[in-house]
Structure 1
Amino acid sequence: MTESEENSGTEGHDRQFVVALSRGLDVLRCFRANDAMLGNQEIASRTGLPKPTVSRLTYTLTRLGYLTYIERYAKYQLGTAVLSLGYTALASMDIRHVARPLMQELADYSDVAVSLGSGDQTSMIYIESCRGKGALTIRLSVGSRIPVATTAMGRAYLAALPEGERNAILDQVRKRHPDDWPRIKLGLERALREYAQRGFTMSVGDWQSDVHAVGVALTNPATGAVMALNCGGAAFLLPRERLEDDLGPRLVAVARKIEAALGRR
């Protein structure tokens, strides 16, 4: 399922929805951290948009500085205007400054990575990440995307959302991954039960077979925004018992401390 197909329902029912703007943002969203460059054909394939439409969008985005055209390869890179927007967004997030020392303390204790993420359709985007001193921490950083439905962070985020919002996201996941949906749904149902009982979720090889993690949601009292934390790393460092008995409760405590600190600001 493409980005544009995910947005098609909104386009058809909301008169305030600007289709051209949505499609331009779909073009920017289809770039990933491991994409050095993308051509119009690749962008068309990822977004589901006709190639002539993509050509007009990439031309406009290039004129505005959001894309850079590499003539030698006839492909595009994200431009500095995108970097400026991203930096401004990150710099304005008080939660990062409040959360980082608490996250780093847990990362040092656990010797793995502790990260904070925000939801974006069927993904979670890292907005802060702290690593332990061990050499085997997960190599994900600010701006990295992970799936919402199979990771501990994403499952915690889903557990904390209102039911309507959660179901809308899961409908996108189901349409995008029809063959894997029964397995994904089973893991999600288990994670939601865990969250209700313990206040945290786990992903024990569900996303990547060699990665284990625990996740906890938190809410920014000032904005009402739901985000999520995770603590994760190599599976052999994080057996289920350590997640359940030690790191899960510790991550819950970190989340509550962050919420309390934000509430005092």
Structure 2
Amino acid sequence: MPRAPSTSPSTTESDRWAPIYRGSRGSATPGTASPSPGLPPWRLRAPCCFWLLLGAAHRRHDAYGRSLIVGAIVPRTGQPAIRLVGSVQRAFAVIDALAEVDTELGTNEIARRTGVNPSTVSRLLATLVAGGFVEHVQESGRYRLGPRLLQLGNVVLGRLDLRQIARPHLLALVDSTRETATLSAAGQRDAVTVDFAQSPFSVQSVAQLGRPSIAHATATGKVLLAFGGRALPPGPLKSYTKRTIAKRSELTAELDAVRERGYAYNFGEREDDLHAIAAPVWGNHGELAAILGVQGPASRFDRQAMEAVVEPLLEHAREVSLELGWAGLVGEAVER
């Protein structure tokens, strides 16, 4: 038989990490306050994300049938607890759905894209709006990403010394090639654009900060696969245009060619009218630290124009690598 929680204060270590009451599936004795086993008021009001930062959180129910969130301390290793929190993952899915489109989305459309129940999506949106991560557009009743994400993104970007080092080289590449130069950071799954310098032409390829590469369909993505020790994307390879390399055997051969020549091409494989070329930037341990690229409209940045860019691109990629502490050696992930 479960026991009702004691109302007497406790100072034991276990009580310090006692559950936080959240929501209610049942109710306590009518006319009485919800029991709080020795917890000060601020503990009861603490948001769940606070406890998630301390460690994994999992759900239990007390003797009154109420839902509890139990926080566990992060291990001494400093690594996060293995168990993932479903509600947080669903919130991330909502943010990703809004980030994938250039327009605002309604609740039902977000539910369709994420596979999450519409009522759950509605509650997640209300929470994200309260935190500034999502904005509710009053005129349309739809939602879009909020300014808080931009603030956090700028904090991350501001801490990347890589951008300060590479910035002069981006400008120099634009001066010499007259096309848009990009800098991408190598992530676990994708390369993400962290800086760029725009082409001076009125007709230009417009880069976007924070835009992830598509591993098999972009020049930066191919560099990540070829030199970053990343595995090929699981499952079928999506065709974005008729030029996309969608066969795994052909992509494997393409990556071998990228390793041999030291840079990657993209001939309209993600967007029909976009061509690009990219080269690796090495870190001080010989690891792939970033990716330097040049991109332009297919009508102007054709194969001949791209060939003329190879030498300055490789030279600037080498100079950025040296400024990052690269000693001219390449890691095992590249030599395989």
TM-score range, shorter chain: 0.7 to 0.9
CA distance 1:75–1:215, shift in 2 (3 Å)? same
What is residue 58 of structure 1 aligned with on the other side? 125
- Number of aligned residue pairs: give it: 245
For the pair 1:137 / 2:204, whether they are aligned, the reply is: yes
State the alpha-carbon separation in 2 of the partners of residues 43 and 257 from structure 1: 44
Query: Any conservation in 2 of the 1:138–1:234 contact (CA below 8 Å)?
Result: yes
CA distance 1:222–1:74, shift in 2 (3 Å)? farther
User: Please, which runs of 5 or more residues in structure 2 have no aligned partner?
Assistant: 1-80, 327-336
AA aligned to 1:93 is L
| Residues 51-90 of structure 1: CA deviation (Å, up to 9, x unaligned) | 2221221111112221122233221122221121011111
AA aligned to 1:205 is G
For the pair 1:48 / 2:115, whether they are aligned, the reply is: yes
What is residue 255 of structure 1 aligned with on the other side? 317
Query: Any conservation in 1 of the 2:268–2:274 contact (CA below 8 Å)?
Result: yes
CA distance 1:32–1:121, shift in 2 (3 Å)? farther
Shift of 1:231: 0.7
For the pair 1:209 / 2:272, whether they are aligned, the reply is: yes
| Residues 77-126 of structure 1: CA deviation (Å, up to 9, x unaligned) | 22221121011111111111111111110111101111012356765432
Superposition CA RMSD, Å? 3.0
Q: Percent identity?
A: 24
More helix as a share of residues:
1
What is residue 236 of structure 1 aligned with on the other side? 299
Query: Any conservation in 1 of the 2:237–2:248 contact (CA below 8 Å)?
Result: no
State the alpha-carbon separation in 1 of the partners of residues 212 and 165 from structure 2: 22
CA distance 1:161–1:122, shift in 2 (3 Å)? closer
For the pair 1:106 / 2:173, whether they are aligned, the reply is: yes
State the alpha-carbon separation in 1 of the partners of residues 91 and 180 from structure 2: 34
State the alpha-carbon separation in 2 of the partners of residues 108 and 179 from structure 1: 30
Query: Any conservation in 1 of the 2:110–2:121 contact (CA below 8 Å)?
Result: yes
User: Please, which runs of 5 or more residues in structure 1 have no aligned partner?
Assistant: 1-13
State the alpha-carbon separation in 2 of the partners of residues 59 and 119 from structure 1: 33
The structure whose RCO (Cα within 8 Å, separation 6+) is larger is 1
